[in-house]
Amino acid sequence: MDNSSKVAVITGGNAGIGLTVAERLLTEHPGLRLCLACRNKTRAQAALDALQLSHPTAHISIVIVDTSNIKSVYNAVTEIKQMYSHIDYIYLNAGIMQVVGVDWNYFWKTLFTKNFIHMFTTGDGLLKEQEEITEENLEKVFTTNVFGHFVLIKELESVLINGTRPCQIIWTSSSNAQKHHFSLDNIQHRNERGGHYSSSKYSTDLLSLALNERLNNKGVYSHVTCPGLVMTNLTFGILPSWFWNLILPIFWLLRIFVPTMNYDTYNGSEALVWLSKQKPESLDPMCKYVSHCNFMGKRYVHQDKLKIDQEDANQLYDQLNTLEKKFHQKYKS
Ligand SMILES: NC(=O)C1=CN([C@@H]2O[C@H](COP(=O)(O)OP(=O)(O)OC[C@H]3O[C@@H](n4cnc5c(N)ncnc54)[C@H](OP(=O)(O)O)[C@@H]3O)[C@@H](O)[C@H]2O)C=CC1
Ligand SMILES: CC(C)CCC[C@@H](C)[C@H]1CC[C@H]2C3=C(CC[C@]12C)[C@@]1(C)CCC(=O)C[C@@H]1CC3
């Protein structure tokens, strides 16, 4: 095993924001060894081929992981541990949103009120979602976005901790993370009408804080990012791509008020890549690092103070830990 060069693992690294982060990290950190942790072999191989074209000497590998399936996460951990003795950056980026429609009534009602900036920044109240339960009897958005990643981090702990080099855990959270959609009495957000995605991203923010409390003294640092609104398969699942292309000029205008209207993945990945170039000890665990792009097209990183509570974070951590133990017993003993 080559221990000298840096290693980055990216979940959902085959498409959208994850793929752009992969591309930009290879440019920013020459010699970086990259692991695309993806659920689909063909799509992962296509991404690897594209990255290898622009970075012919880069060392890129694929690990198959479906974060909505805990058995698959355990299998992926075994593979990652065989490949790497230390991980410098782990991007917990894979994510889904199960949208079935837009509440246009709410959109028109809010457009000409003072709440319009909040609506365009967060999407809060605009999206209709549907629930799905996985074959392991877990809520799918919660498992894909949060629990699968929790298990990944927990099982990889020995590879993240290294006496001499720090490790950065970098989550792709969202402005859509809203406390009013989250409850410690129902962390999976089961049997609720909507708010599944928001609850999962709020959990992400809490979990990141809890991880810092547990792991900072071992050289592992966790931070949350927000890519803003970016055109990817996720947003094409909300409205068709032709619609988004049509309203591109509106995005430019909206940027005067809402600098998170990033549109492309390069703009959206700014905060995620910027974090990899910072000293992790100097970063604030109570901040969300947000990718901004102004009207003139200038990209920069904005820090938003997180409105979350350490006690909630610890309680969520404990609940995730208890849930993980059941799967550990089932699959690992
Ligand atoms: N686009 C936006 O405006 C915003 C996105 N985000 C977040 O950014 C992250 C990346 O999303 P984005 O790039 O937009 O969307 P994409 O759909 O383009 O990318 C999502 C990535 O996650 C992967 N993925 C989905 N489900 C799983 C799973 N069960 N196991 C493993 N991988 C999975 C997808 O794989 P596959 O290609 O096989 O489907 C894909 O690689 C998400 O966490 C999302 O919530 C946050 C704020 C705004
Ligand atoms: C004329 C158009 C600009 C109308 C588009 C309205 C809505 C579909 C969008 C306005 C704000 C958007 C938004 C998201 C999805 C699409 C909107 C609701 C996200 C929720 C996508 C996923 C995220 O993580 C955050 C985004 C915030 C903004």
Short-list 280, 326, 298, 217, CA closest to 88: 280
Q: Whose CA is nearest to atom 8 of ligand 2?
A: 102
Q: What percent of the chain has pLDDT over 70?
A: 99
- Give me ligand 1 centre to Cα 144, in Å: 10
Q: Whose CA is nearest to atom 23 of ligand 1?
A: 12
pLDDT band with cut points at 50, 70 and 90 for residue 148 = very high
Tens digits of residue pLDDT in 220-260: 999 999 999 999 999 999 999 999 999 989 888 989 989 99
Question: Is the pLDDT reported for residue 26 higher than 90?
Answer: yes
Pocket residue to mutate for ligand 1, from 41, 51, 96, most atoms within 8 A of Cβ: 96
Asked if residue 236 belongs to a domain, the reply is: yes
Range(s) of the domain holding residue 157: 7-332
Provide the pLDDT for residue 162. Answer: 85
Short-list 262, 299, 326, CA closest to 16: 262
Token readout for 78 is: 């075994």
CA distances 323 to 184, 202, 209, Å, are 13, 18, 19
Provide the pLDDT for residue 4. Answer: 77
Question: Is the pLDDT reported for residue 25 higher than 80?
Answer: yes
Q: Whose CA is nearest to atom 20 of ligand 2?
A: 123
Tens digits of residue pLDDT in 290-300: 999 998 999 99
Question: Is the pLDDT reported for residue 3 higher than 80?
Answer: no
**Are the C-beta atoms of 129 and 195 separated by less than 8 Å?**
yes
Q: Whose CA is nearest to atom 2 of ligand 2?
A: 247
Asked if residue 14 belongs to a domain, the reply is: yes
Residue range 77-105: mean pLDDT, rounded: 97
Residues with CB under 6 A from ligand 2: 97, 102, 107, 120, 122-123, 126-127, 174-176, 229, 235, 238-239, 247, 250
**Are the C-beta atoms of 301 and 270 separated by less than 8 Å?**
yes
Q: In the chain, what's the furthest Cα-to-Cα distance? A: 59
**Are the C-beta atoms of 61 and 36 separated by less than 8 Å?**
yes
Residue range 95-119: mean pLDDT, rounded: 94
Closest listed ligand to the CA of 239: 2
Provide the pLDDT for residue 24. Answer: 98
- Give me ligand 1 centre to Cα 172, in Å: 9
Tens digits of residue pLDDT in 47-69: 999 999 999 999 999 999 999 99
CATH number (domain holding residue 240): 3.40.50.720
Provide the pLDDT for residue 2. Answer: 61
**Are the C-beta atoms of 14 and 229 separated by less than 8 Å?**
no
Residue range 93-98: mean pLDDT, rounded: 98
Tens digits of residue pLDDT in 265-289: 999 999 999 999 999 999 999 999 9
Asked if residue 1 belongs to a domain, the reply is: no
Summary mean pLDDT of the chain: 96
Ligand 1 atom at minimum distance from 144 CA: 29
Q: What percent of the chain has pLDDT over 90?
A: 92
Tens digits of residue pLDDT in 187-211: 999 999 999 999 999 999 999 999 9
Q: Write down the residue that tokens 């928001």 correspond to.
A: 198
- Give me ligand 1 centre to Cα 94, in Å: 5
> What is the rounded distance in angstroms from the CA atom of residue 289 to the CA atom of residue 247?
26
Residue range 20-46: mean pLDDT, rounded: 98
Asked if residue 270 belongs to a domain, the reply is: yes
Ligand 1 atom at minimum distance from 265 CA: 13
Give me the number of domains the chain comprises: 1
The residues annotated with a catalytic role in the active site are: 197
Asked if residue 2 belongs to a domain, the reply is: no
Short-list 328, 308, 289, CA closest to 184: 308
Q: What phi and psi, each to the nearest 5 degrees, are found at residue 115?
A: -85, 5
> What is the rounded distance in angstroms from the CA atom of residue 289 to the CA atom of residue 268?
11
Token readout for 270 is: 């700014």
ipTM: 0.98
Pocket residue to mutate for ligand 1, from 151, 232, 270, most atoms within 8 A of Cβ: 232
Pocket residue to mutate for ligand 1, from 9, 11, 17, 205, most atoms within 8 A of Cβ: 17
